Structure 1
Amino acid sequence: MAGVNLYRQGTDTEGYARHLRDLMAGLDKPLVITEFGCGAYRGAQVRGAASFFAVNWFADPPRLRAGTVRDESVQARYLTELLELYRDTGVRGAFVFTFSMPGFPADDDPELDLDTAGFGIVRPGADLASWEPKQAFHAVAKHYAAYKEPR
């Protein structure tokens, strides 16, 4: 078994698919994608692994950079597209990065809502024990619900 972190970045989605197919063709073993994802804002699908740069950590308190607009459908669509690509190309398994990111707390103030730039598919609660599903959570669940039990 081979594993690789493989975030899609930029606008060349076919180039990403080609890279994945080339990677798999060069292996003599099954491939698992060990990490992939993006933030939940407009444009995060292009930034991929760099989605967290939407946070200005030097501000006090840290805040989202100007122009960062929360859009959970971006993250949900990105994850669904990649899960479908992985399924269609024969990837053995894939791990969404990540379930929750408490270091990127949610806030009612859009400027302070760091969860927007986090990769979590759930919004962490203030007590860190609670959480609320984001659109990406439901998209991932729907993707895997379509799988049938092996016989």
Structure 2
Amino acid sequence: MKKLITPLLTVVLVTILCSTAYADSCGMTIVPGLGYAYSPNNQCMSTRITLSNITSEEVEVTIEFYDQDGNMLTDKGRLYKGSSTKGSVDWLGYTSTFTIPANATRTLNYWDTSKNHYIEGYAIIKWNSLGSSAKALVGNAHVARFLGNQYAGFHTAPINEGKPF
């Protein structure tokens, strides 16, 4: 029960902070149904969240991943951005909090190969900006299954029904 209270308190605190303490803009949403799996025989399932900043101001974003028991999974997000000069993405490091420049897109991929495990959970996405926009982000969640280096299937779902948040 304790672990279920943490995400609820997060939502309440973000709502209070957005409405009273900050002169800037902020918001949040919850992304259900995320999965991650890893086994030493190279079978895995990967979750990726791609967000686009639709404002003319940079936006600071925090993505918190939670497992099936309500435990926050920390420091396992690999941040990427696209590249216009090569055929692959640019890796920006491990993080859960990052900045998305104005009108730009970033992808955070949950990745943990430290142990054999299977996770069914969700993510909370929080954002903050010095701008005045009530809604700053659009995005999607992508879950892919791999067998070795081969795609074995995937599904993609828009976050917040594809509407800005």
* TM-score of the pair, normalised by structure 1: 0.32
Higher relative contact order (CA 8 A, sep 6+): 2
Higher strand share: 2
Higher helix share: 1
* TM-score of the pair, normalised by structure 2: 0.30
